[in-house]
Amino acid sequence: MATKPVLETRSLTKSFGSLLAVNEVDYRVPEGELCAVIGPNGAGKTTFFNLISGKLEPTAGGVFFEGEDITGFPPHAVVKKGVGRSFQITNIFPRLSVLDNVRIAVLARRGKTLDMFSPIEKHTEEQDEALEILGEVELEHKAHHPTTELGHGERRNLELGITLALEPRLILLDEPTAGMSIEETSSTIDLVKKISHDKTVVFTEHDMSVVFSIADRISVLHQGSIIAEGTPDEIRNDDLVRLAYLGEEV
């Protein structure tokens, strides 16, 4: 490995009772790459993300971000280190305006959220930045609308916008195109590619054509363990993967 890994897990393990959801996973993400984690339903992808992002505490093993041990950090501390995350189920603030959804994240990153006495509108720098981010995710024209007026794809984009507002150096995307129409999927994929130009991205995805067309590296999770890792070509030709997962699809 040439570059130092941005993210590394060592023997990362999580068990729920007798179920080993994630089993001694050693995983390394080199800087700047767009990495996919794939696997059938129940393979442990979301649990794996929850362990990295601090939502769950591992049973054993460790998580290292830029060389620093962040095992067992609560989610807000992991975010402060520079790891942003989006969710499989759209996770936004429904009764706030579109602008406020992103503005809150910008204010949080800049440490302005303990300001109790100045009106939120007076923070114009943060507002401008939030509008800029809304532009990136193509929602600028809806900034002052309630989120209830957004379509499904737009809500996914808004969620991505919230995550981008944190300026993470590593972004975890859990099924960014889940439930999207074909047009929405292709625009979100373009967005993910754009983001990955200057950030390290790890994503899970069920749509294999998406995975094989954009990922630099693919890791295959099966019953809690990584059974194969490599470039899309290597994975496509891996017998074990074909047997365990891809089946007739590739």
Residues that bind other proteins (CB under 8 A): 53, 55, 74-76, 79-80, 84-85, 87, 91-97, 100, 103-105, 107-109, 112-121, 123, 144-146, 162, 165-166
Cβ proximity to other proteins, 25 vs 158, nearer residue: 158
- Helix orientation angle between 152-164 and 182-195, rounded to the nearest 10 degrees: 10
From CA 227, how far away is CA 241, in angstroms rounded?
Answer: 7
**Shortest Cβ distance from residue 79 to other proteins (Å)?**
4
Measured CA to CA in angstroms, residue 2 lies from 25, 62, 64, 203 at distances of 21, 22, 18, 22
Q: For the range 70-78, what are the long-range contacts, defined as Cβ-Cβ under 8 Å and sequence gap of 24 or more?
A: 78/52, 78/53, 78/54
Q: How far is the CB of 38 from other proteins (least distance, A)?
A: 23
CB of 247 to other proteins, least distance (A): 34
Cβ of residue 144: shortest distance to other proteins, in angstroms?
A: 6
Helix/strand/coil for 62:
strand
Between 144 and 197, CB nearer to other proteins? 144
Asked if 181 and 196 touch (Cβ cutoff 8 Å), the reply is no
Q: Is the CB of 75 or the CB of 230 nearer to other proteins? A: 75
Which residue, 55 or 206, is less far from other proteins as judged by CB?
A: 55
Q: How far is the CB of 96 from other proteins (least distance, A)?
A: 6
Element housing 218 (H / E): strand 217-222
Query: What is d(CA 41, CA 174) in angstroms, rounded to the nearest whole number?
Result: 13
Contact 103, 130 (CB under 8 A): yes
Give the total residue count for the chain.
Answer: 250
Tell me whether residue 76 or residue 197 sits nearer to other proteins (CB atom): 76
Q: 57 or 190: whose CB is closer to other proteins?
A: 57
Q: Which helix (H) or strand (E) holds 39?
A: none
Return the sign of the alpha-carbon dihedral for residues 179, 164, 2, 49: negative
Least distance (Å) between residue 33 CB and other proteins: 23
